[in-house]
Amino acid sequence: MSQLVTKPKRKATGAAAMGPGPGRPKGSVNKMTVDLKTMILGALDEAGGVDYLVRCANDPKTASAFLTLVGKVLPLQVNANFQGQMTVTRIELVALDDK
């Protein structure tokens, strides 16, 4: 018969013995994410900004990438408290005709 041999657990030392730290404050953005967004916006500005995005949207080869980008920047949730008249706007994605 064979027996299963297990090693005894070692006791945590140093910072691990104190438990986890407070972590990043709620709502703060990862530094890497902020840096990446800054680089992307800089590249977009050098590529032509809005005019470049319009060309990408109208080009059949890049239209799907443009629509993916639109989907990434649209908010997933909208939390709003307001009083008054409400206007509903419809956003519809349609395929471009191949010409």
2 pLDDT tier (thresholds 50, 70, 90): low
User: Does residue 58 fall inside a structural domain?
Assistant: yes
CA-nearest of 58, 60, 93, 57 to 74 is: 93
DSSP the chain: ------PPPPPP-THHHH-----SPTTPPPHHHHHHHHHHHHHHHHHTTHHHHHHHHH-TTTHHHHHHHHHHHS-S-------S----------PPPP-
Residue 59 lies in domain: 28-73
What pLDDT does residue 73 have?
A: 77
| pTM for the structure as a whole | 0.45
**How many structural domains compose the chain?**
1
Average pLDDT over residues 1-9: 72
pLDDT in tens, 25-84: 887 777 888 888 888 888 888 999 889 888 988 999 988 888 888 887 776 666 667 677
User: Does residue 53 fall inside a structural domain?
Assistant: yes
pLDDT in tens, 17-26: 777 777 778 8
